[in-house]
Chains A and B, each alone.
Chain A
Amino acid sequence: MPIGDMLLRSVDDSQINTVFPNTFEEYKKWDKEKDELPPEEVYKALFQELAYGDKIQVGRALTRMNYSKSGWKSLIKKTSREIKKVVKKEEFPDSYKEFLIETNEKWADPTYWYAMGQMVNNQTSIYYWNAIDRTFDQELNVVQQDEDRRVYVQTWLKTLKVSIYVTVFCLILGFPVAHLLANLPLRYSNLLMIFVLLPFWTSLLVRTTAWIVMLQQKGVINGVLVWLGILSDDGRIAMVYNETGTLIAMTQILLPFMILPLYSVMRVIPKSHMRAAQNLGAKPAMAFWRVYLPQTIPGMSAGGLLVFVLAIGYFITPELVGGKDGKLIGSWIAYHLKTTLNWGLTAALGAILLGFMLIFYWLYNKIVGIDNIKLG
């Protein structure tokens, strides 16, 4: 239900329509081929709706208008003030068009009017286009954002890259460990399992903090390296507040999610298979590659998808450890939700991410089945 609401929000553009219904009605009648500026009726409707509209509602609408073209907000605010004066004195102008252009010459600038065209419908796809660095031009064609406003495509790619890296690292680190745990006698493996389960149970923020302590300039790892004489005192490596830090911390945090499914799959692979293969003349490496590895594929895909899906939506760790260039898409979602209050864009970013997720979820279900999730 909340997710459905979010999807609605991502295309919803009705708020502004409740504020300027007549203006938009008249606007639709404007023939852009014939007249350079909209007809008198549009100006009149706008005048009236600004003069008698609810202040809070207009304010919200203004925020929305600013997304389509910056400058709307100040323009309308200035104009409103003039309109209020006129209404107070009850000296209504003969031509609203001339009056508005007189108060602010921007009303004679057609680009503003073109930008309004984006908003006249109740639904919009602008947020989705914004989420991949596209915007509308005057004729409502989709074009690239200006160079300095392009951030999202880059962030999407980075999110994807980090997730893939983390998944691969987790697989490389997790596979031998899961193998060891699955093949040791239960007494020892239960003991060693604590090493995997303890981080799994510990608060995410605790682990993130711990990594900051470990990786910072004066942190534990740098300290040890300097002490060992590998690094000089001023040659300390910057490992935190960049992408390296994000990768290291996320790998450790997500590693249990890789080890646990792998472990539960490896546990039930009979040891006799490897021996049989070797009896039949396969070298150990060959036996491993042809007999053991194929049997672990369900575990690998389960763990891999789990880690990948978790990594792609990760937010806390990259935000804290990642610094400026470690920001992933989750950070932008949070930023727009909390700071800029551009909820349409938030919802669109979320919806795209959710789309990705559903594809992987579906894949996961195909490969391992959703009921097979195990927790330790």
Chain B
Amino acid sequence: MALPTYATPIQRTYYYAYLFFCAVVFFFLIAPLIAIVPISFSVSPFMVFTEGMLAWPPEPEAWSLRWYRNMIGDCSAEVVSSTVPCSTKWMKGTVNSFYIGIIATFIATVLGTMAALGLSRPHMPYKALIMSILISPMIVPLIITAAGMFFFYARINLVYTFTGVILAHVALATPFVVITVTATLVGFDMNMVKAAQSLGAKPMRTFFKVIMPLILPGIISGALFAFITSFDEVVIVMFMASIDQLTIPKQMWAGIRQEISPVILCMATCLVILSIVLLTTVELLRRRAERLRGIKAR
């Protein structure tokens, strides 16, 4: 979108002001994420840019990997400082986060895909109602869902168990799968199902051989959404998990609340990288899906 050649000076001013404003907003969105990366490599135990880091020429002493080594549970003397004790909590949290995240993602993907398939049938009764109920965990504030689940799980003895946390995450993550898979199914030609069935394929076979390969991009991006939901989730974990179910977000929360330690920033940097990877995957999948549907880039 460029300015026409006949634009008046006032229009030009407005236009450049508008571009500048957008640039500021983009900066506002991204700057905090960028800022934490260099600080995580600092020697200092405080979360600030030290003078050494800003000096020119660069001073190698100001930079170090000590907090990263602390994060992975290395307890040697140069790693630990008086304010930052060494602990294995970060690694334990990572293991738990992946464990909970992967199981929850798997269940949510299976359930969500089935729900989306059912909901995209033209004659499904009470479609709107079911959709609203399915999507409700996305709209209801987490704190309410968490409180409700806590009360409910307390009655059936599921609080402070892995099962409880995983089930709660499944409930949160399923809507994302439903939405992405439904979106993919919009471009899906239902005649292919009929064709497969007329050729003698049973429903299961039809699904795995015909439907699934075609909607796979949708399923995968749904699964990634589900994973990131579970992986990021902290409110439910805070209420429903004991110390055994410590996850990365919970450890970060504890880290911010109690010891403001630079190790948090190391983990944050890792998470930013993880989100870049996931984002790229989803974008590539989306483009592939668009290509398949014949939408060309303008």
Contact = CB atoms under 8 A, between A and B. Distances in A.
Contact of A195 (B29, B232, B298): B29
Contacts, number: 210
B32 interface: yes
A32 B147 CA distance: 39
Interface string A346-371: 11001001100100010011000011
A337 to B, nearest CB: 6
B1 interface: yes
Interface in B126-168: 128, 131-132, 135-136, 138-145, 147-153, 155
Given A219-B48, A313-B143, A316-B253, A373 B135 contact: yes
Contact of B143 (A185, A219, A333, A365): A333
Interface in B226-253: 228, 231-232, 234-235, 238-239, 249, 252-253
A362 B32 CA distance: 35
A255 B26 CA distance: 10
A1 B271 contact: no
B62 interface: no
B152 A5 contact: yes
Contacts of B47: 212-213, 216
Contacts of A371: 128, 131, 182
B117 interface: no
B247 to A, nearest CB: 11
B26 A177 contact: yes
Given A203-B271, A212-B256, A320-B257, A375 B148 contact: no
A198 B147 contact: no
A197 B128 contact: no
Interface stretch (B33-41, B106-114, B195-203): B33-41
Interface in A155-184: 173-174, 176-177, 180, 183-184
Interface of B is mostly: helix
B272 A309 contact: no
B275 interface: yes
B71 interface: no
Contacts of A334: 143, 235, 238-239
| Number of chain B interface residues as a range | 35 or more
A2 B152 contact: yes
Given A208-B256, A315-B143, A218 B150 contact: no
B18 interface: yes
Nearest to A346: B147
A350 B39 contact: no
B276 interface: yes
Q: Which of B25, B35, B249, B265 has the most CB of A within 10 A?
A: B25
A283 to B, nearest CB: 10
Contacts of B1: 180, 183-184
Contacts of B282: 376
A276 B24 CA distance: 31
Contact of A205 (B18, B136, B234, B239): B234
Given A192-B26, A350-B147, A370-B131, 15 more contacts: A6-B147, A176-B21, A176-B25, A180-B22, A202-B275, A205-B249, A206-B36, A206-B268, A310-B141, A334-B235, A337-B150, A354-B140, A361-B136, A361-B139, A375-B179
10 contacts: A174-B25, A197-B283, A199-B33, A204-B249, A207-B33, A209-B268, A216-B47, A219-B48, A255-B25, A353-B143
